[in-house]
Amino acid sequence: MSQQYRGLVFDAYGTLLDVESVASACEAHFPGQGLALTRLWRQRQLEYSWLRSLMGRHADFWQLTADALDYACAALGLEADKATRSALRDSYLRLAPFPEVPAALRRLAAYRRLVLSNGTEQMLRAALGLAGLLPELEAVLSVESVGCYKPAPQVYALATTQLGCKPGQALFVSSNGWDVAGATHFGFQTCWLNRAGAPAEQLGVAPTLTARNLAELAERLQSAAQRI
């Protein structure tokens, strides 16, 4: 297979790993509030990453995950003791992959494939390992090596350093529209996996490609490579 990109760079949370798969654990602890807790927790997790980057007060994603959970529980009026908070945070180490992801990654084996994520390396390797995805990846890159979060350009530069290429020679893949916008601004070719049929972010840049899921992207890349 001829290759049109020097490598494929994948976001982890919400792209390869389904962050809403923690909802069952949340529901078990707080019946009737599982999905609401899951979504507010994730929202605050992201917001804290952006705010800490802007303030220059970095804390790793494991800490942010705990802080965001504490906020979400308080906002929803849920009383969580230390054991409950610990059990829920640990669910981020066991996130399920989206159903099509394992097979789609295998279909893309002709490409160099790596993950670039806000998560700590320990968090990522735990979840990607349990999901069976680590054998498909050349590297797992964490923002911890630069001490700030996406969409900071120095985070995206970790991937081009790993691949030894210019940004425009790699394809960055994410289900998060804000992440795609940041990667596009950095200079990557980008693919937005618009799983939810969401409107495009209004940030002055547009993705190179849009697909409904990773299987659709794999099909399109294989078809395009066969025409080269």
pLDDT in tens, 170-208: 999 999 999 999 999 999 999 999 999 999 999 999 999
- Return the percentage of the chain with pLDDT > 90, whole number: 95
CB atoms within 10 A of CB 31: 8
Distant-in-sequence, close-in-space partners of 99: CB < 8 Å, separation ≥ 6: none
Write down the catalytic residue from 11, 18, 60, 179.
11
pLDDT at residue 4, rounded to an integer: 83
CB atoms within 10 A of CB 173: 28
Q: What is the distance of C-alpha 126 from the center of its chain?
A: 14
The dihedral built from the CA positions of residue 50, 54, 55 and 57, taken in this order, carries a sign that is: positive
pLDDT at residue 58, rounded to an integer: 97
pLDDT band at 227 (very low <50, low <70, confident <90, very high): low
Q: May I ask the CATH architecture of the domain 7-16+98-227?
A: 3-Layer(aba) Sandwich (3.40)
Instruction: Please tell me the number of Cα atoms within 13 Å of 43 on its side-chain side.
Output: 10
Closest CA to 17 of 122, 146, 112, 123: 123
pLDDT band at 228 (very low <50, low <70, confident <90, very high): low
Instruction: Kindly list the domain boundaries of the chain, sorted by start residue.
Output: 7-16+98-227, 19-93
pLDDT at residue 214, rounded to an integer: 98
| Mean pLDDT computed over 135-163 | 97
Q: What is the distance of C-alpha 51 from the center of its chain?
A: 18
Is residue 1 scored above 70 in pLDDT? no
pLDDT band at 108 (very low <50, low <70, confident <90, very high): very high
11 is catalytic: yes
Q: What is the mean pLDDT of the chain?
A: 96
Contact 142, 36 (CB under 8 A): no
Assign 3-class secondary structure to 164-183.
CCCHHHEEEEECCHHHHHHH
CATH value of 19-93 in 1.10.150.240, 3.30.930.10, 3.10.290.10, 1.10.10.10: 1.10.150.240
Q: State the residue for tokens 């996996």.
A: 193
